[in-house]
């Protein structure tokens, strides 16, 4: 286990620490910087803490104006700036979505020092930057950015002409910190495949998954589909499952901050997203020894899934092709055994120790 003698202070700014892959990744980043010897602070814009993290918490959302509610935003800005100035952070890492022009102009030019680092956590830049490429290019021209995938880093360099972009992937959790609570789980079928994440069809393409599940006919072999998560399209997706006639073979579980036992007992984990950043569900599944079947969306899956080594990477965004891949991984026992055998080893390079080394190398190079 690597430990470093650096004693600096980092502030990791996040939307929140609950209900989402980006939020879990932000929580994981606190352990990376603890490993590097930093005093870690986490500043949250919105309420909610579902994931374990380390460090001191500064709740921006809790700041209230004593004068008038309409002054809350200005009051929060000044008090957060005072907090940053008082603590004299060596490093600020911004994990938020930065989509509003005026707000980000104030944040980049007024609130943060020039040494701040801005994270890119999605290949769909509509979820990361403002809608105006020329503005984004100007705003971040001489700023440091870190992308969680190499594909998104290349896109930022090509589309926005940004030079200071580095790719550093998310770290897998230290599973010793997450007890496997099988005695506290809901009753699950003996054989199931798993979809884990936010129930939002525009990005997660869950209708493709349901259609593929129907076409695979795995339900005829008493294999269920467990969908774990919550989101705005839950009612619509359940209605779609009913219309397809597969609703009796689907188990719905609410969001869980510790899904690892459910993952570990699944036959495999699926991902059908239209776009991602660096999908945590894949690396977490592999870290507990469970193979994956994933659409080769941009970005992330191709940097994680070694086709026919730790899972299957499906390039065709077609439910029949995805259904065939699911059947293949179930019924080709030699393939399944190989993917299961390779799963944990395939993500060892994403351990907190190894990602801490990546950050250490990057920060030393940039300083």
CB 291 within 8 Å of CB 306:
no
| Distance from C-alpha of 311 to C-alpha of 342, rounded to nearest angstrom | 9
113 lies in some domain = yes
> By residue range, what is the domain housing residue 287?
175-349
CATH of the domain at 270: 3.40.50.2000
Q: DSSP secondary-structure letter at 171?
A: P
Distance in angstroms (rounded) separating the CA atoms of residues 288 and 263: 7
pLDDT band at 51 (very low <50, low <70, confident <90, very high): confident
**What is the reported pTM?**
0.91
183 shares a domain with 155: no
Q: Let me know whether 153 and 128 are in one domain.
A: yes
Residue 62: predicted pLDDT: 86
Torsional sign, CA 18, 24, 27, 31: positive
Q: Among residues of the chain, what percentage have pLDDT more than 90?
A: 79
3-state class of 24 per DSSP?
Answer: helix
pLDDT at 177: 62
Q: Are residues 76 and 184 in the same domain?
A: no
Same domain? For 188 and 252 the reply is yes
Task: Please indicate, yes or no, whether residues 216 and 137 belong to a single structural domain of this protein.
Answer: no
39 with 85, same domain?
yes
Q: How many domains does the chain have?
A: 2
In a domain, 130, yes or no: yes
Model confidence band, residue 3 (pLDDT cutoffs 50, 70, 90): low
For residue 280, which of 197, 165, 358, 200 has the smallest C-alpha distance? 197
Model confidence pLDDT, tens digit, residues 294-311: 999 988 899 999 999 999
Judge if 271 and 300 occupy the same domain. yes
Residue 3 lies in a domain: no
Alpha carbon distance 131, 302 (integer Å): 27
Check whether residue 230 and residue 331 sit in a common domain: yes
pLDDT single digits (tens) 144-203: 999 999 999 999 999 999 999 999 999 998 776 666 555 556 789 999 999 999 999 999
Structure tokens at 261: 């036992």
| Residue scoring higher pLDDT (118 or 183) | 118
Kindly tell me if the per-residue pLDDT of 67 is higher than 80: no
């Amino acid at each position: 286990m690597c430990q470093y003698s650096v004693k600096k202070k980092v502030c990791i700014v996040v939307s929140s620490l609950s209900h989402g892959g980006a939020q879990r990744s932000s929580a994981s980043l606190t352990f990376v910087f603890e490993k590097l010897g930093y005093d870690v602070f986490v500043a949250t814009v919105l309420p909610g803490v579902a994931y374990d993290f380390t460090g001191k918490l500064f709740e921006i959302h809790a700041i209230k104006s004593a004068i008038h509610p309409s002054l809350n935003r200005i009051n929060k800005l000044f008090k957060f700036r005072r907090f940053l100035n008082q603590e004299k952070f060596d490093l600020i890492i911004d994990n938020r979505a930065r989509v509003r022009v005026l707000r980000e102009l104030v944040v980049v030019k007024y609130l943060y020092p020039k040494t701040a680092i801005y994270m890119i956590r999605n290949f769909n830049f509509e979820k990361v930057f403002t809608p105006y490429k020329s503005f984004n290019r100007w705003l971040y021209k001489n700023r440091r950015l870190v992308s969680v995938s190499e594909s998104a880093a290349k896109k930022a360099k090509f589309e926005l002409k940004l030079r200071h972009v580095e790719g550093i992937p998310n770290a897998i959790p230290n599973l010793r910190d997450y007890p496997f609570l099988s005695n506290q789980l809901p009753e699950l079928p003996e054989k199931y495949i798993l979809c884990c994440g936010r129930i939002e069809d525009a990005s997660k393409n869950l209708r493709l998954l349901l259609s593929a599940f129907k076409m695979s006919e795995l339900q005829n072999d008493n294999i269920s589909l467990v969908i774990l998560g919550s989101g705005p399209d839950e009612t619509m997706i359940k209605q779609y499952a009913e219309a397809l006639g597969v609703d009796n073979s689907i188990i719905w579980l609410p969001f869980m901050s510790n899904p690892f036992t459910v993952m570990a007992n699944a036959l495999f984990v699926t991902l059908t997203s239209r776009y991602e950043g660096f999908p945590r569900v894949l690396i977490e599944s592999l870290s507990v020894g469970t193979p994956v079947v994933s659409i080769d969306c941009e970005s992330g899956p191709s940097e994680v899934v070694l086709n026919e080594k730790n899972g299957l990477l499906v390039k065709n965004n077609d439910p029949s092709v995805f259904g065939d891949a699911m059947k293949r991984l179930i019924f080709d026992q030699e393939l399944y055994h190989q993917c299961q055998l390779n799963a944990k080893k395939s993500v060892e390079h994403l351990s907190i120790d190894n990602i801490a080394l990546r950050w250490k190398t990057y920060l030393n190079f940039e300083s």
